[in-house]
Amino acid sequence: MSAVQRTTRASSRHLVLEEFCYQGPVDRIKLADRVYTANAVPSDIMISFHHEMAMIKEFPPRIMFFCQQPPPVGGQTTIISSSVVVEKVEEELPQVLEKMEQDGIIFTLHTKSIYKNSTTSDPLAGTVWQRMLKTTDEVEAKKRALDMLACNNVKFNSDGTACFTFGPMNPIREFNGKRVMFNRVVGYETGERDAFVTFGDGSPVPSNATETIKKIYEENCVDINWQKGDILLVDNLAVQHARRPGKPPRIVLVSLSN
């Protein structure tokens, strides 16, 4: 039995969960019913903590990860209770948290002009936003972005870059009686896209506050050191996940469920 078949069977038989189809800006390949490849960001880049598809209008309650090939070095999936993040930020940065809740945050995603993982035979190899939205037409791309993503505005630039603006929005949501930091409040960069966060009134989040939030994540997370055949089931409404930098090969498959 192949790894894809085992993942499909684990997702459909043992857990009896309804399939959630992936729709979003991350480049994934559907390998079988319920089974997708993981994020295609190069393995030497950290993927920061997030709730899966939090910037998309519909997001899966559960995620299953399956390790087909563990990396030789690094590449851990790391997880953290999102309610703990809220509690710790409230303890250490009460005024920052209050402002985030009152004014919201603005999350700006900037896609760069070159899609590094593409090949010359790829018809959408031109820019990152074309690959993200699977079209080269700006009008159609904007429609897809506003329909699919939870963004408020899209701007395409003449140099091939694009800006997607989300918010102002309250990054904290409540699920099952717990307050979670559902939306990213710390910026990131992957080489093909970067993101930055301001308060909802446009004022910057103080750099010391950002560093404190990063420290909270690092001090309260748990690393999963993958072994071949491992399965990890994540409650996407309660737990954030991230990926440590590592060396290839690393093959972790993903299944999304309601």
Structural domains of the chain ordered from first start: 3-80+225-257 (2.60.120.10), 83-217 (3.60.130.10)
Q: What band does 16 get if pLDDT is binned at 50, 70 and 90? A: low
Other CB atoms within 10 A of residue 147 CB? 9
Nearest to 82 by CA among 248, 216, 246, 215: 216
Q: What band does 14 get if pLDDT is binned at 50, 70 and 90? A: very low
Q: What is the mean pLDDT of the chain?
A: 88
Which pLDDT value is given to residue 40?
Answer: 78
Rounded Cα gap, residues 97 and 90, in angstroms: 6
Rounded Cα gap, residues 184 and 54, in angstroms: 8
pTM score, two decimals?
0.88
Which pLDDT value is given to residue 120?
Answer: 44
Rounded Cα gap, residues 26 and 171, in angstroms: 21
Instruction: Give 205's DSSP letter.
Output: P
Q: For the ranges 1-15, 25-39, 72-86, which has the lowest average pLDDT?
A: 1-15
Q: What band does 171 get if pLDDT is binned at 50, 70 and 90? A: very high
Rounded Cα gap, residues 129 and 230, in angstroms: 34
Among 28-32, 161-165, 190-194, the range of highest mean pLDDT: 161-165
CA 28 to chain centre: 12
Rounded Cα gap, residues 31 and 246, in angstroms: 23
